[in-house]
Amino acid sequence: MSDAGKSIHVWFEASENDGGSEHRLVLENLPPSLGPDRQTVFWRAVGCPGLDLPPVVDSYVCGLALIASHTDRDLVVHGPMSRAGLFNLGQLVSIRHSLNPWRFGRQTEVKADSVVDLHRPGGSNNSAVCAVSGGLDSSFTLIRHALKLDGAASHAVSAAVMVHGFDAKLDQADRFALMKQRAEPIVKRAGVELLTVVTDIRKLDDACWPESAIPLTANALAMFSKQNAVGLVSAGAPYNVLRMGLSHPPIFDSLASNGWFTVFTDGGSFGRADKFEMLKAYPEVIDAIKVCWEGPDPSRNCGTCKKCVLTRLNMLTAGIDDARCFDTPLEESMIRRLRWRDVYEARDFFTLCWNEMRLRGTIGPMVDALRRRLAMTPPRRPNVGGLLRRLSGRRAG
């Protein structure tokens, strides 16, 4: 089949939009599953005029390559790419295809109009821009580096960036406003500016999320790459939690880097209780943390879903009782009511909670309640069918 029939083509444009900068990706030859053959997606830095396209478009291509792989297409890039970025991108697509061939069915080939060996000029700004969501992981990363808690190894954070179009969909402006308002005390404590990037990329990407989360976040951060050589993203599950086929293991995130802009994943060696122990010195940050995604109100934590209960137990392990980010106290009944779809969800509580409790010798009625609940973990044997459905993007039954 001809190249035109098997490849998505992408061009890049930049303009000013409503007092901010907008970078557009014009795509042609999209498969029918994604809608019209020709579409435009945008990335808009609100209130930040004068942001030109980077000298290489690698960060804009990273997420597109996963979309191409998922839809059995190659990718033709009408713009310059760095040799380092092209190599990393090939590695990322190859690994995703190897781990999950039923979801990323093609080891996509990326072709660029030009490939350059690019390095930032000497004396350029080596500061970092940090992605934030208001959750535990990104709050930990932002505070740790902005306040230089890692000493000389800390990156100099110039700004925090929150993306409208990921967790809050584009038509959920009110929801995003509440999420941003909730995160503001965290960013204020870090002493940096909170910037907003708006995008509609998820209209093409739903089938690739969350594997595409870091490549797309790198795209948002790269809008500020002229002023910042580094993009900081936060690790979710630590390195000792095996999730090679799911989400975005920290070891893959660095593959979103290129010859112009380097992406670092922070916190992969820290458990959730470890992160809370560091944040205990900043109660205003803990009070603002938002972890819930199941509750009806985006401005608060419901307190009773699996993620909320896990977080409350992590706090208990770190010596934090009844944090103000939850409206009600933790009760044993919340632990008794926990339900897991399969053994893999239950193992998250072992690896992200129970193991940390045992290491610290945490005791008390909540610990006893969790022990009893984990003793009833179903099913006893791995639910292979459930795992395959989760890997392919469908919810287990």
pLDDT digits (tens, 9 = 90+) for 314-337: 999 999 987 899 999 999 999 999
From 53, 51, 49, select the one nearest 12 (Cα to Cα): 53
Q: Label residue 247 left, alpha or beta by phi (over 0 means left) and psi (-120 to 50 means alpha).
A: left
Instruction: List domains and CATH numbers for the chain.
Output: 3-114 (no CATH), 128-266 (3.40.50), 291-385 (no CATH)
pLDDT digits (tens, 9 = 90+) for 61-74: 999 999 999 999 99
The better pLDDT of the pair 294, 248 is held by: 294
pLDDT digits (tens, 9 = 90+) for 90-134: 999 999 998 889 889 999 999 999 999 988 776 556 799 999 999
Residues 24-34, mean pLDDT to the nearest whole number: 96
pLDDT band at 395 (very low <50, low <70, confident <90, very high): very low
pLDDT reading at 179 higher than 70: yes
* pLDDT for residue 166: 93
Q: How far is CA 371 from CA 129, 200, 242, 316, 346, in A?
A: 41, 44, 22, 15, 12
Q: How far is CA 79 from CA 25, 82, 264, 391, in A?
A: 11, 10, 25, 33
Residues 180-206, mean pLDDT to the nearest whole number: 96
Q: What are phi and psi of 355, to 5 degrees?
A: -60, -40
pLDDT reading at 291 higher than 60: yes
The most confident of the ranges 5-9, 16-20, 260-264, 388-392 is 260-264
pLDDT band at 3 (very low <50, low <70, confident <90, very high): very low
**Average pLDDT score, the chain:** 89
The better pLDDT of the pair 362, 241 is held by: 362
